[in-house]
Each structure stands twice: as structure tokens, then as C-alpha cells.
Structure 1
């Protein structure tokens, strides 16, 4: 997104519904974890304030452990050894 497009976007305001689960920060740096369907709260000092999404909250249905299939093995020649090339063949780095 270009800087010009971002300039015309407004952050959500207190009283508006939350559309995305995540952690939000207001103008004074107060962070709040909010879920979809809740309403952005007013700040005790500022009153109505803008809220910026700082971290998405994903529900991956697991306990937060990395999938063992994603951990590089000791015998891998490089991290790129098993990446698939967009055209369908495996790029092993040897040209």
C-alpha cells in the first residue's frame, strides 16, 4: 500500500466494533487485547481515541509449539534445499 493511500485511512475509534482479533495500541501507548465483536474502549485519560492494530491474534489450534516438520534438520545442506521452485522443480542451488 502506498503512503498516499495509507494517509487517507483512519484507524478504528473508541465505540466502533473490533473486526480482527489482536492487540491494539491507542495514541498514548496503552495496549489492549481485543476480540472480534467487542467494542474499542475509551481511554480513561483521553476519552475517545484511535486504536492501531499492533499484533494479530491467531488461533492455530495447538499449544504454541513449532511444527517439527518446519524445523531444519542437522543433515540439511542449506535452508533452501527443500524449497519448491514456482515452476514445479526443486531448486537445490546447484546450477
Structure 2
């Protein structure tokens, strides 16, 4: 089950960082629940080389903002990566 920080908020862990293939200079951060069944995607536009925004190992998000991961292989991958992040990092560690 997901680690819940309060009634409406769920803690999710960084499991994937993807760079956009197009010219929009986007980074897509994917966070997952520890069991890999729910995810949260965050797009970040890089506006310049001096644009520094911290990416933390985990974030707390409203449960209504979580998507469902339907593919069993992706669920397994996300669960393994979320566990690795939990084992190595505190939630507020900058990654």
C-alpha cells in the first residue's frame, strides 16, 4: 500500500527522469508510490543554464493527482526504483 502522510496526501519517490526529445527543453520527473501502482509526473522547463530548482528524492502529492500504472513490468520497475531510493535517501535529499 502507499505510504500516506495524511488523509489526502501520498508520498511518492523519484523513479525516472526523462529529457524531452523535442526542442522544448523539458525534463519529465516521474515519482511513484512504493508499490509502483500509482505515479505522479512533473514537467520542468529549463529556461537557462542558471535555472536551478532542486529535485528531491520524494514529494508529497494530493492523491487525486496520481495516475495509475497499468503495465505490470512498469509497476515492478517503479517499485524496485522507489525501494532503492527509500533505502539510499531521505525524502528531502536533493537528487
TM bucket normalised to smaller: under 0.3
Higher relative contact order (CA 8 A, sep 6+): 2
TM-score of the superposition, structure 2-length normalised? 0.22
Greater gyration radius:
1
Greater helix share, structure number: 2
Superposition TM-score, scaled by structure 1 size: 0.22
User: Which structure has the highest strand share of the two?
Assistant: 2
